[in-house]
A and B are shown apart, each in its own frame.
Chain A
């Protein structure tokens, strides 16, 4: 296996993008990524499209994207890992380059969720798990699945709804500064969050990420090419991948996502770090906050802190810029939006920009000490998990940050 680096990133404006088709929306991201890498379509030898679909018209999104963006006749596939489809696309492109099957590959994520009415989208996402045993008879919804975790977590660790609302407030704070975010310019208060209606008790509307259209793209190249293309390649140093049971009822407890824990374990082991106090290795992290409970569990599954201590990070503001470990400085899924198949690629884009120290405004640029970043992308309710580690260094393990 050889080194693989991200040398170009592109990101469409997330939101209700009824002004674009699937192809047009994807092109916004692909064009930006090609421009950023100063490469031409003919340089891309292979592309992968992360798209969950169902709610959108095109059944073969990869070929529609390929034609519209001028990537034909390069080989491609569409990959699905639910809400982690984007990370699956990055992983697949990474494998293609690492193995030597391609020198230059593009990972693209796109989702067009506003092509169906909201009730249809709710119906589709509710089926993400075990359709026959958990949806057909019991009508779970996506917030419903995570609500099962939030109830158990609150009960076990005496957490309050207010605690979780603080996560939403933080992510809106950063999303309000990100022009690509769905909720750009929109900050919220804890009180607004607490007063929002329940969608699946104890999850409220403001605990939830929105329905979003969006696209993102990254260009991955082999180690021989990376420095010829850019002075600041961002290396994909490790990817951990795991799955959880389709039926939620098959899981022993509901206070953490085992798939995310297992994927993190793998990702950390590959670069020789332990699964404890991991906040000290990373300058910034993007975690899967489809609901506020998901972000809190992520802190613990990733080993930033021990189980049950995630809310303490929130209460102390330690996941803001300048804190122990800044998380979701782009607004996260909560405020940037969650276009299912694009989210994982969007995380790779943001981690790359953070490590290049090119984020504007500077209020949402993390301070870079170790040159390492992490993304945590969960598919479904811990059905799939992808943990990706990025570094400015091609070799060697992460240093540790000064204790603050």
Chain B
């Protein structure tokens, strides 16, 4: 793990802002050659930082569940359809009459990948395995698979879905582990 996300992220932007300031100081205009040294670019003096706030009001039971050690799906009381990720509404029955049901946890791995080139906001993690498994109930879940050696992963292997604390951020989420 090493450096935290904050430190990596800040460093990335600090470097570019530092270069920008130096260019402006030297030339009076924020223009510098592109990465290949070929063409002139105006380096934006305005920064746009984006972090969204997303409503979880109608599915907050799911997050309460994580704190209680349970992973929930929702299930339509009328048609019996499971929803994972949990949904507050069943669009097929046009009802919002849902049961919160605990996910059994056992599943069969359908496919997976190892993310080698990571998004900036994931750059502080080691390469991670993302897998999709079909749970006993019939629906699929996508999550990281915790495994020491990605070469041991096989399509068709049995996995268990469990709650995990994502470090270094320290928040609760879910992950797969192989069933020995």
- Taking Cβ atoms with an 8 Å cutoff, the residues of A that contact B are 16, 18-19, 57, 114, 117, 119-120, 122-123, 126, 130, 132-135, 137-141, 143-144, 147-152, 155, 197-203, 247-251, 253-254
Contact = CB atoms under 8 A, between A and B. Distances in A.
Nearest to A152: B111
Contacts of A152: 110-111, 155
A300 to B, nearest CB: 17
Nearest to A255: B111
Contacts of B128: 138-139
B119 A200 contact: no
B85 interface: yes
Interface residues of B, number: 41
B84 to A, nearest CB: 7
A298 B12 CA distance: 38
B113 A133 contact: no
Nearest to B85: A133
Interface in B2-48: 12, 16, 34-36, 38-39, 41, 44
B39 A148 contact: no
A262 to B, nearest CB: 18
B116 A201 contact: yes
B119 A119 contact: yes
A267 to B, nearest CB: 27
26 contacts: A18-B34, A119-B119, A119-B120, A119-B123, A120-B120, A132-B85, A135-B119, A137-B166, A137-B173, A138-B128, A138-B144, A139-B122, A148-B112, A151-B113, A152-B110, A152-B155, A155-B111, A155-B155, A197-B116, A199-B116, A200-B115, A200-B116, A201-B113, A249-B132, A249-B139, A251-B140
A251 B141 CA distance: 10
A328 B121 CA distance: 35
B141 to A, nearest CB: 6
Contacts of B120: 119-120, 122-123
A132 B54 contact: yes
B110 A139 contact: no
Contact of A139 (B54, B84, B85, B115): B115
B24 to A, nearest CB: 18
A139 B121 contact: yes
Nearest to B125: A139
A160 to B, nearest CB: 15
Interface of B: 12, 16, 34-36, 38-39, 41, 44, 54, 84-85, 110-123, 125, 128, 130, 132, 139-144, 150, 155-156, 166, 173
B75 to A, nearest CB: 15
Given A139-B121, A143-B117, A152-B155, A249 B34 contact: no
B116 A57 contact: no
A143 B38 CA distance: 29
Nearest to A197: B116
Given A18-B39, A139-B121, A144 B115 contact: yes
Nearest to B52: A131
Contacts of A16: 34, 36
A155 B113 CA distance: 13
Contacts of B115: 139-141, 144, 200
Nearest to B150: A201
A248 B132 contact: yes
Contacts of A139: 115, 118-119, 121-122, 125, 128, 130
A149 B112 CA distance: 8
The residue among B34, B113, B123 with the most chain A CB atoms within 10 A of its own CB is: B113
